[in-house]
Amino acid sequence: MDKVFIFDTTMRDGELTPGVKMTLQQKISLSQLLEEMGVDIIEVAYPASSPKDFAEVFNIAKIIKNSTICGLANSLEAEIITLAEALKPAVNSRIHTYTQVNIKQQSKLSAEQVLETIKKSVSLARNYCNDVEWSAFDAPRSEPDFLCKSIETAIKSGAKTISIPDSLGLASPAEFSQLLQMIFNRVPNIDQAIVAVHCHNDLGMAVANSLIALNCGVRQIECAINGLGARKGNADLEKVVTGVLKQGNYQIDIDTLLLTKASELVLQITG
């Protein structure tokens, strides 16, 4: 059976939920429970955004031994280097970097400049960390040929995981499935990376989009406990895990007996 990797972003994207702020100790407690559950990748924070975020990644990286500890950075050299510094104590670390690929929103950069940005940022990240994930921000609204070229460039530059986010949560399952099928059919080196999805819930489709993505070849799902996240939130981790297991043909290393405990802990933290 193919393994599906679970990437938890409760502490990073989940903290973008209006009114939600977590202390370092709360994040440590949650990360320890996520590790006990068997979560593959734990995204802790965005170290370049604040000293608080840096300290959270650095301190949790010292504690967690089995799960991969991940932080987020944009394509700027300074952000990637800051993230690499924060991840130094980790046994297993991942640099997660992203680029805006909807070039209609990239008023300052040409398509060639965006591709060069992807190449430089992913290559830089690989200099610091063997495990690099690159996200195609706003993928559903980007131009298809350019999106595919961007993904190809990121993989050539060393990204081991490619994340296709429905950044604004506006895609239907049919639309998202069509986008993913196009990527798998048209990116020549797509077999050299694990493809992930990160679905927002603005139309209530985050879990459905995450699960249908498996049929297209996706093998990592990014989600959050209790569906926390920016605006209407992310795919709910418990629903994703339950949905994957219900399909019966994928391996998933989550201890389902701890799902309720995790939900209750996050509810206690967020109020």
**Per-residue confidence of the chain (271 residues) as pLDDT tens digits?**
999 999 999 999 999 999 999 999 999 999 999 999 999 999 999 999 999 999 999 999 999 999 999 999 999 999 999 999 999 999 999 999 999 999 887 768 899 999 999 999 999 999 999 999 999 999 999 999 999 999 999 999 999 999 999 999 999 999 999 999 999 999 999 999 999 999 999 999 999 999 999 999 999 999 999 999 999 999 999 999 999 999 999 999 999 999 999 999 999 999 8
| Confidence at residue 104, expressed as pLDDT on a 0 to 100 scale | 81
Residue 120's domain is classified under what CATH number?
Answer: 3.20.20.70
Report field, pTM of the whole predicted structure over 0.95: yes
Q: Residue 211: which H helix or E strand, with range? A: helix 206-212
| Confidence at residue 241, expressed as pLDDT on a 0 to 100 scale | 99
What is the sign of the dihedral through the CA atoms of 37, 38, 40 and 46?
positive
| Confidence at residue 271, expressed as pLDDT on a 0 to 100 scale | 85
Strands (E), the chain: 2-3, 5-8, 41-45, 68-73, 93-100, 132-137, 161-166, 194-199, 220-223, 250-251
| Confidence at residue 221, expressed as pLDDT on a 0 to 100 scale | 99
- Report the b/e string of 52-78 with b at 16+ CB within 10 A: ebbebbbbbbeebeebbbbbbbbbeee
* Direct distance between the N- and C-terminal alpha carbons of the chain, in angstroms, rounded to an integer: 39
**Residues with Cβ within 8 Å of residue 54, at least 6 apart in sequence:** 45, 47, 48, 82, 85, 86
The alpha carbons of the chain give a radius of gyration, in whole angstroms, of 17
| Confidence at residue 105, expressed as pLDDT on a 0 to 100 scale | 75
Integer CA distances (angstroms), 78 to 7, 23, 61, 145, 249, in order: 25, 25, 20, 29, 42
DSSP 188: T
Separation CA 16–CA 53 (nearest Å): 13
| Confidence at residue 108, expressed as pLDDT on a 0 to 100 scale | 82
| Confidence at residue 12, expressed as pLDDT on a 0 to 100 scale | 98
Query: In which domain, by residue range, is 74 found?
Result: 2-270
- Report the b/e string of 178-212 with b at 16+ CB within 10 A: ebbeebeeebeebeebbbbbbbbbbeebbbbbbbb
DSSP 104: T
Overall number of domains in the chain: 1
